[in-house]
Structure 1
Amino acid sequence: MPKILIVGGGYAGFYTARVLEKQLRSGEAEVTVVDPLPYMTYQPFLPEVAAGTVEPRHAVVPLRRHLKTTNVIAARVTAVDHATKTATLTPEVGEPWEFSYDIIVMTAGAITRTFPIPGIADGAFGLKTIEEAAAIRDRVTANFEKASVLPAGPARDRLLTFTVVGGGFAGIEVFGELRSLASALLKQYPTLSFDDTHFHLIEAMGRIMPEVSLETSKWVIKNLAERGAQIHLDTQLTSAVDGVIETSTGERFETDLIVWTAGVMAHPVLRNTDLPLEERGRLRLGADLRARTEDGDVVADVWGAGDATAVPDLSGGGVAGMCVPNAQHAVRQGKLLGKNIVGSLRGDEPREYFHKNMGAVAGLGIGHGVFQAGKLSIKGLLAWLMHRGYHGLAMPMWERKIRVFGNWIISFFVRRDTVGIIARENPRAVFEEYAARPKAAATRK
């Protein structure tokens, strides 16, 4: 049996494995997914996880539960030598080992792209993992608790100042959601007022959300400004050491939460392979999702999809002729990739990937949203409902959809759950503080 190795269990990897399970005949191939995490994260829900409107566990899909016949290995692929068709797997505990394969599927995804700005690596949060989103929520709720017992002044201002860097979809969505969460929390803290909270979004370009029209992006800025949030356009972050924000426009303020959403890059594992990469470090693919050399020749037995790859956008959209890294493409590419691999095993020619973007929808906090499709633009409550409907149905697996919709329905009647588990990052603190310890042995004279 040919061995198919899928590197990464995110959107593209998960859906590729799902299609292979459905379409492969018994004994036709052996499929293995390697990922250090036991679940796939539905990343469009991360802003709502950060705001407490989606539970963290409901925004992930457990791989072992939903991949019935696929081998799931909890490890990292740290190197690939396609010349010998071996991959190095490194588990969290134990020694690395070599894994032999016949076909490799590169769906390693992307990581947060950062710049060497002082203070960012030491104190900022990204927004690529469920753990980051949950930690952001806990930080916000903890800061309200701390600020509620402080007098007005610099210490309280710092705790209630929240900063997001990056004005793309992810940045604007988490910015709007956190503003919504803060407004909900204020109702529970009589010692704090709306004017005590400060929200700043820093964007290097002269506009936000390039996926929507300029008119729509201006409406978003106005909507957020009316809700007490400030967007700094044409502004670069120059320093964030110890939470002290300094910008290229000369502004300076202190913050206790920095969320970095200024771009992504292909997973670094690709650098440790002999696979064909393009200038941005992504796996170079043809529209049929097979790897290609710089000259356009097919690299046998190498396939890919998702954010770690450069796939030609045959619809004429995209950036520099390539599909942009988002969930829409990753999911659809993964489904086609599974079909193409099955077809290739049976001697069929692979189909080319084609998807024309039907529009963009974003949530900006409860009751606020935008939708853009061509010249059609919908704003406000209706767009927010469209956002929830689309992503609720797009969430993989019906048992996950039910959990998400169920939580939304419950929250409609009893309001959002604003409880943060403040001690989650150090769960043993109380136990350690009061635990009995052996007495020191008496010293003999």
Structure 2
Amino acid sequence: MTKPTFRILIVGGGYVGMNTALRLQRLLAPDLRAGRITITVVDADSYMTYQPFLPEAAAGALEPRHVVVPLRRVLPHCEILNGWVLGIDAARRRVDFRPHWGPGRELGYDLLVLAPGSVSRILPIPGLAEQGIGFKTLEEAIHLRNQVLGQLDLAASTTDPAVRRRALTFVFVGAGFAGVEALAELEDMARDACRYIPGVEPSDMHWVLVEATDRVLPEVGPEMGRWTVEQLKERGIDVRLSTRLTSAVEGRIKLDDGTAFEASTLVWTAGVKPHPMVRGSDLPMDERGRIKVTPFLNVVGRSDVFSAGDCAAVPDLTRPGEFCAPNAQHAVRQARRLARNVAALVRGATPRPYRHAYAGSVASLGLHKGVAQVYGVKLRGPLAWFLHRSYHLTRVPTLNRKVRVVVDWTLALFFSRDIISLGALAHPRQEFEFAARRQIERREAEKRKETAAAGVAAER
């Protein structure tokens, strides 16, 4: 009698999901080729985004397509399904899957890897949902690039001082890696773009960083955080620490220190929370909505479900009683250990716990500017910026993407940044709809003329 196929289902195609599948392809290659095991990856997108490179993609230092990895290309031995997981029934080993279009279906599994990641943590601030944008996806990065350059074009074209001030005011809420790096890279790009836009000077722009705590980039330590604040202020960036956003209704920004002003751009990077998908499961969760897992990365009480990354509360064995931080450094390493433990479970071997001492952090503050703290060594300026690029180059998946990133950086040494705003990308049918609307209006006008002419003829 033929032994049934062992089905591995991976929910999420980000750091953990893709890297787990990538390693399982190698570890279980003979079983995959023989059909004894199948691996299915479910994600809303058909690619994995390397988020540390999003600021450089937004600033034009990297081609946006080079910071994403196509899942079907790097996972040729896996089945890739694009859509949404609406519910997880771990007791029945079933997942409710819905593609982007058409009827949904249930997916069965023998072993589940749950790694949907996180989403932006939105607070109930008036106007935030209508005016703000996050900085977690490639689409958001491209939009912000077009938004900033488009507002510079508007400022150069308008004669209204109020419109100009609003267009040249950019607000970033949240001073973690995403907020600081995005602001620094985009401000650097905008400053460079001003050279080609007559009538707009760098001093005309108003960049504001709002942070509820009293420090920025806590991962690099207090000293490097203070140095970062000094560097941002030297560039004319308005840094507001211990300050909260209270309202953003119709683009009017109000802070709890009493300040109020108009802004065309509001970027929200004030934290993340586990993907809401995990709440649609019967798995154990902690008070922060994260899935409870053991040091072996299997879900507490279940040997057939694994989880890691932003959506999981992974015990930090190097700091007893604490949990691993939700960052790329841990996610990539957790994926490797998770894949090895899954392979061990399939083959009847002994799994091993995840243990990794945090090595430190690096951050880019624009071209040739950076800050870092690695194994206790503090770096800043061009050396930290070079370390940031070097580290992430080694971590971006596939040789294909590494080469493309290096080529982009090399070309940037000889050519200036591209400052074209492609704002129409957000509304690609606008021109077509305008032409169609004008055609309908002409036809209606012709009909009215014919009706009027017929009425005149009848009167005669």
TM-score, scaled relative to structure 2 = 0.93
Match of 1:13 in 2: 17
Q: Quick one: distance in 1 between partners of 2:313 and 2:299?
A: 10
Match of 2:125 in 1: 117
Q: Quick one: distance in 2 between partners of 1:376 and 1:84?
A: 50
* Greater mean alpha carbon deviation, residues 432-441 or residues 254-263: 432-441
Q: Does 1:347 align with 2:348?
A: yes
Question: SS of 1:137's equivalent?
Answer: helix
Match of 1:51 in 2: 59
Shift of 1:239: 0.5
Shift of 1:51: 1.3
Q: Quick one: distance in 1 between partners of 2:68 and 2:270?
A: 23
Percent identity, aligned pairs only, is 43
Contact (CA 8 Å) 1:411, 1:417: kept in 2 or not?
no
Q: Does 1:423 align with 2:424?
A: yes
Q: Quick one: distance in 1 between partners of 2:280 and 2:355?
A: 30
Q: Quick one: distance in 2 between partners of 1:307 and 1:94?
A: 30
Q: Quick one: distance in 2 between partners of 1:306 and 1:277?
A: 14
Higher-helix-fraction structure: 2
Q: Quick one: distance in 1 between partners of 2:439 and 2:374?
A: 65
Q: Does 1:272 align with 2:276?
A: no
Paired letter, 1:2: F
Contact (CA 8 Å) 1:245, 1:252: kept in 2 or not?
yes
* Greater mean alpha carbon deviation, residues 150-159 or residues 349-358: 150-159
Question: SS of 2:439's equivalent?
Answer: coil
Q: Quick one: distance in 2 between partners of 1:311 and 1:28?
A: 31
Q: Quick one: distance in 2 between partners of 1:215 and 1:437?
A: 63
Paired letter, 2:369: H
1:310 to 310, 313, 325: 313
Q: Quick one: distance in 2 between partners of 1:167 and 1:330?
A: 21
Shift of 1:276: 1.3
Match of 2:227 in 1: 219
Q: Quick one: distance in 2 between partners of 1:77 and 1:372?
A: 38
Q: Quick one: distance in 2 between partners of 1:133 and 1:16?
A: 26
Contact (CA 8 Å) 2:143, 2:423: kept in 1 or not?
no
Shift of 1:423: 1.2
Contact (CA 8 Å) 2:360, 2:376: kept in 1 or not?
no
Contact (CA 8 Å) 2:56, 2:62: kept in 1 or not?
yes
Q: Quick one: distance in 2 between partners of 1:208 and 1:325?
A: 17
2:439 to 434, 437, 440: 437
Q: Quick one: distance in 2 between partners of 1:6 and 1:178?
A: 35
Q: Quick one: distance in 1 between partners of 2:215 and 2:200?
A: 32
The within-5 A match list for 1:85-124 is 85-124=93-132
The within-5 A match list for 1:151-190 is 151=159, 153-190=161-198
* Greater mean alpha carbon deviation, residues 20-29 or residues 181-190: 20-29
Gaps of at least 5 residues in structure 1 are 293-297
Match of 1:295 in 2: none
Match of 1:244 in 2: 252
Question: SS of 1:437's equivalent?
Answer: helix
* Greater mean alpha carbon deviation, residues 116-125 or residues 26-35: 26-35
Q: Does 1:284 align with 2:284?
A: no
**4+ runs deviating over 4 angstroms:** 440-445
Gaps of at least 5 residues in structure 2 are 456-460
RMSD, matched Cα: 1.5
Cα deviations by residue, 1:40-59 (Å, 9 ceiling, x for unpaired): 00011111122111121111
Match of 1:129 in 2: 137
- The alignment of Structure 1 onto Structure 2 pairs a total of residues equal to 438
Cα deviations by residue, 1:391-416 (Å, 9 ceiling, x for unpaired): 12211111011111101100110122
Shift of 1:199: 0.4
Cα deviations by residue, 1:293-333 (Å, 9 ceiling, x for unpaired): xxxxx31301111111110011118xx60011111111111
Name the larger-Rg structure: 2
Match of 2:413 in 1: 412
Q: Does 1:371 align with 2:372?
A: yes
Cα deviations by residue, 1:224-269 (Å, 9 ceiling, x for unpaired): 1111101100101100111111111101111111111100000001
Paired letter, 1:314: L
* Greater mean alpha carbon deviation, residues 45-54 or residues 81-90: 45-54
Match of 1:64 in 2: 72
Match of 2:302 in 1: 299
Question: SS of 1:211's equivalent?
Answer: helix
